[in-house]
Amino acid sequence: MQERASERVAARAPTGPRPVPLGRGAGGPGGTVATGSRLGSNRDSTRQHNLSAVLGLVHSTSGLSRAQLTRATGLNRSTIAALVGELVQLGLVVESDLDQTQQQGRPSIMIEPSPDALVLAVNPDVDAVNVALVGLGGRIPSPVRFNTVRPPSADEVVNIVTAVYTGMRTSLPAGRRVLGAGLAVPGLVDPADGSVIEAPQLDWRGEPLAARLAEALGLPFSAANDAVVGARAQAAFGAARDVPDFAYVFGGGSGIGGGLVTGGRLVRGATGFAGQLGHTLVRTDGALCACGSRGCLEAEVTRRALLEAADLPRGEVEDLEEIVLERLRSDGPGSAGLREVVERQAGLLGVGLRSVVNHLNPSMIVLGGFLRILARTVPDVLDGALRAGGGHGPREDVRIELAPLGTDSILLGAAELAFEPLLADPAGNAAGPAPA
């Protein structure tokens, strides 16, 4: 995310109608937006819609030129100039250097996300609480990982986040404001009120964590499952950008979860709990899962087993991927046992992904968290298990991509939850509840 915006937009700026998935821009939560000539409208009655469309495009591309905005929205140049001017006044975008990549005519002014608009992203896990202030355009300057010696209680999460956020706010430059907060939880979250229905690895049940954090911090909180928001981040900024049909599968200390996108829309299910891919059966009469069943994917494929096979303490999870890769390359003592664990887990992951592919026919599977290790170390084992069986079908064409290393995908997804009201109505939500 550090390259200049003018170098990014040539590949990313929309040039014709396409869907913008998962509630970005003017489509609203869970909807799609067609960019191109129908995205904007020149009627005065649609000002909110147009502001939303322009801010959504600047946010999702991390910046583009006035000329590109004009082409993407179908609005005329004077309307774009007026909308950009209003967004500048709201402190949501900034006008910067001219776009020197433009081939014809005068160079166009670049419109980029303002650094002044921020949201708080929170992701508790079994061994840490991750906290970050995230800017428009998906900028995460200084995420904080607060390690814990055991799964934190909800009380401990509230205390940790309050302390970390207080320190973050006091160090913000003048003019920066925090508009809201998003919470990503490794468990089932009630879509109605954001309460945690169940997070077995954290031993939470019926926990109104979002409401408690909102009260403690004075910020509006939205909450969702961690893997689901990770899928949103991949659609907005990651490997699945502009991919209408994909599955995001994330492995963390709390288990394995998934987010499913089809036709540019997040699959939510009847009660909002779709995507529990960790409970896909991969081995009959296998290991006991926290859900009470046996042989679930997350009971058979675990980060704990990789740590033990690599002879690493629980606290070294941030370096696990590179350590495993190095030990397998070196072929030193213990590497044979480590390879056996990796190959076994990769094969079982492939079995689980096979079910996903057969049911949903995605064009891409994005692997995040410790699942990246299995794809990087023994790709042939994973691919062989995924594509096992004869005949041409959905498994023949699906490709596997890796999410960025670390927790950024989850934090970005949590931030997308918090940015939804702002992207839907920039003028109505730009002030925020907590100016710095």
* 85-105 pLDDT per residue, tens: 999 999 999 998 765 555 555
Q: Which pLDDT does position 23 carry in this prediction?
A: 40
Whether residue 38 is predicted with pLDDT greater than 70 in this model: the reply is no
**In this structure, are residues 143 and 131 in contact, taking their beta carbons and an 8 Å threshold?**
yes
Q: What is the pLDDT of residue 406?
A: 64
Average pLDDT taken over every residue of the chain: 84
Cα pseudo-dihedral 39, 234, 427, 224, rounded to 10: 130
**63 band by pLDDT with thresholds 50, 70 and 90:** confident
Going by DSSP bridges, is the β-strand pair 144-147/196-199 parallel, antiparallel, or unpaired? unpaired
Which whole number is the average pLDDT over 7-27?
34
Give yes or no for residue 29 having a pLDDT over 50. no
Q: Is there a contact between 334 and 370 (Cβ–Cβ < 8 Å)?
A: no
Residue 394 identity (one-letter amino acid):
P
Q: Which residues contact 319 (CB under 8 A, 6 or more apart)?
A: none
The predicted model gives 134-163 an average pLDDT of 94
* Topology alike, domains 117-229+410-435 and 239-403: yes
CATH number belonging to domain 117-229+410-435: 3.30.420.40
Q: Tell me how far apart the alpha carbons of residues 52 and 92 are, in angstroms, rounded to a whole number.
A: 11
Which pTM does this prediction carry?
0.81
Measure the CA angle with vertex 139, ends 118 and 9; round to 5°.
120
Interior CA angle at 100 toward 98 and 103, to 5°? Answer: 125
Output the CATH code of domain 5-113: 1.10.10.10
* Percent of the chain whose predicted confidence (pLDDT) is above 90: 58
Residue 204's CB is within 10 A of a number of other CB atoms, namely: 23
Q: Tell me the CATH architecture of domain 239-403.
A: 2-Layer Sandwich (3.30)
> Residue 112: which region, alpha, beta or left (left: phi > 0; alpha: psi -120 to 50)?
beta
Residue 1 structure tokens: 């995310």
Return the HEC string of 117-166.
EEEEEEEECCCEEEEEEEECCCECCCCEEEECCCCCCHHHHHHHHHHHHH
> Mean pLDDT across the stretch 321-328?
90
- Classify residue 406 by burial, with Cβ atoms within 10 Å: 0-12, 13-18, 19+: middle
Query: Locate tokens 């003592």: which residue?
Result: 333
Name the residue ranges covered by the structural domains of the chain.
Answer: 5-113, 117-229+410-435, 239-403
More confident residue, 333 or 50: 50
pLDDT beyond 90 at 390: no
